[in-house]
Structures are given as C-alpha cells and as structure tokens.
Amino acid sequence: MKILLAVDDSKSSEAVVQALIAQTQPQGTAVRLLHVIELLPIAYSGGEWSYSVDWQKVMQEQRKQAEEFVQQVATKLRAAGFSVEASVEEGHPKSAIVESAAKWPADLILLGSHGRKGIDRFLLGSVSEAVARHARCSVQIVRSKTS
C-alpha cells in the first residue's frame, strides 16, 4: 500500500502520525511524507510587485523549519518500521496534496483536520475537505482530541 501522509506541524498532524502507526502494518507499506509550504502573498502597486518584508528570507526560514520537522517525523515512522520518503513542497496545500498523490500514485491520503469552524473555516478553507473532494484515491481525515 502507498500512503501519502500530509503533515503541517500541528496537533492534528501528530494525531495523523499516531493513527498511521496504530492502524497500519509497516510491512508492504510505503509512506510519502509531505509538508506543503503555503505561498506567501505579495502586493502589486503602481506597476511593480512590492514586498513589505524580505519574503525570500521568510520562505528560506520556513523551508528550513519544514525540512527539520519532516525529518523528525520520518525518523519516528522509520523507527516504527515504515519505508518513508520525505518531501517539502511550496504551493497551495489543497492542490499540492492532491497532485502529489495522483503523480505517485497513492492508494490513500492520510491527513489531519484542524477543526476550524465559522469565519475561520470560511476565510482559511478546509484543506482536508478539499482533498477529500478532489483526490483520485481514498482519503482518511484524522482529528486530534483537541479539534
């Protein structure tokens, strides 16, 4: 079985990792661990793109932190006996997860839910809901006990 495990360094991601370890036999299971760095907004004004901060530096720091996090999770999964390939991508999480799963191709996408409601859900959207709607394979959404 090929499982795409989408993580984002949140409590829901820890729940996803624990669910994978508890529910899946490592033998015969390949895990692609994916963290997506969301693209940062920039402003367009007067015919020029402007940055109010050094976005390149911000993105480099985010990538460094994401790679460290992904390696920590990969180490935990390897210790549990899983074959793991880890990656960090930049883009929109909803589409990056679905596209990565299709290209691999994954049998299952496993991801967490932040449990957002109301205006937060309206403004930020639901990555897990969008992935479940658009993925070509099965999707398991795991909630943390605090969601």
Domains: count for the chain: 1
What is the domain-level CATH number for residue 42?
3.40.50.620
Q: Give the global pTM.
A: 0.84
- Quote the CA–CA distance of 49 and 55 in Å, as a whole number: 12
Which residue segment(s) compose the domain that 136 sits in? 2-143
The whole-number pLDDT of residue 123 equals 41
Q: Is 33 left (phi over 0), alpha (psi -120 to 50) or beta?
A: beta
Q: Give the mean pLDDT of 36-40.
A: 83
Q: 46: burial class by Cβ within 10 Å (0-12, 13-18, 19+)?
A: exposed
The whole-number pLDDT of residue 122 equals 44
- Do residues 109 and 139 lie in contact, with contact meaning Cβ atoms separated by under 8 Å? yes
